[in-house]
Amino acid sequence: MSRTISRRLISVAASAAVLGGGLTGVATTTGVGTADAATCKSSSTKKYTLVVDYGFEKAVKGRAVAGGTVTYALSLSTNSAGNPYVQDVWDTPPTALKGVKPTVKVKAFTLIGGILGGGGAFGGLIEETPISPGAVKADGDRWKISHTGWAVFSSRAFTAEYTYEIPSKVLPGTKLTSGGAAFQATPKPPLGYVNMPDMTACTTVKVPNAGEAILGSMDMAGLGSSEGQLSSAGSLNDLLPGIIGGIIGGVGGGDKDKDEDKK
């Protein structure tokens, strides 16, 4: 066996040992965090009623990676006539993300994207729009976006997604519990300015898996992109499975929290 091959085998073995150590770290972190897992809720909801039901939700994917991103989704939905309009949204991030300016996109009802776009009266009425960085304003410890009025159509929720970069110094196992959320919306009452400081969402920072670590290293070296990677962090497509039916149908006039996924 040549010296070159031997050196390569040694390098492979060393890499395997490092990855193995990382995987062991994941298991250890999970074990340590089990005791307070019940305090880390991936979503919470509120409901307001004045003839019509209005449901609010703040949700986050259950886990995140240091050096990656985390997205908090703030939603408002209704199940009947009396469709509200949203003028302002405020998000309060976790303390560990204080000072980190988020990127924001909005998913809202639009006639242009739906009926006029060929979707019909009941199809394709939600349009996703990125908010320009200059329109994302710091307001104390919160981040605010504003509009003349985003429409909330019956069974078509309005959602604002705030995405924050997680500093690499944040340790695995850290619970990123956000602050609350606030909306300015009509009709008033029951809406108007609705401040919900206890409508929080929590996610746990994890050790990157092998694929995330490799892709992250490539990104730092300018050799690749983490877009579209297969990650245990998952996709926002399955972030809010029950906004329409869950909040309005399941809250029953009270608040509802969901435990983060335990894997």
Separation CA 4–CA 43 (nearest Å): 53
State which amino acid sits at residue 84: P
Looking at the domain assignment, is residue 229 inside a domain? no
pLDDT given for residue 238 in this prediction: 45
Looking at the domain assignment, is residue 231 inside a domain? no
Looking at the domain assignment, is residue 227 inside a domain? no
pLDDT digits (tens, 9 = 90+) for 191-220: 899 999 999 999 999 988 776 666 555 444
pLDDT given for residue 180 in this prediction: 96
pLDDT given for residue 14 in this prediction: 39
Looking at the domain assignment, is residue 87 inside a domain? yes
Separation CA 57–CA 73 (nearest Å): 8
pLDDT given for residue 189 in this prediction: 82
Looking at the domain assignment, is residue 9 inside a domain? no
Q: What's the number of domains the chain is made of?
A: 1
CA-based nearest residue to 109, from 101, 119, 99: 119
Separation CA 221–CA 138 (nearest Å): 32
Looking at the domain assignment, is residue 183 inside a domain? yes
pLDDT given for residue 80 in this prediction: 72
Looking at the domain assignment, is residue 11 inside a domain? no
pLDDT given for residue 254 in this prediction: 43
Looking at the domain assignment, is residue 22 inside a domain? no
Q: Beta-carbon neighbour count of residue 47 at 10 Å?
A: 19
The CATH number linked to 177 is: 2.60.40.10
Q: How far is CA 150 from CA 41, 101, 157, 208, in A?
A: 28, 22, 10, 37
Residues in the chain with pLDDT values less than 70: 1-38, 62, 81-82, 111-125, 211-263
Q: Is 116 exposed, middle or buried (0-12, 13-18, 19+ CB in 10 A)?
A: exposed
CA-based nearest residue to 74, from 181, 173, 177, 197: 181
**In terms of residue numbers, what domain contains 143?**
39-206
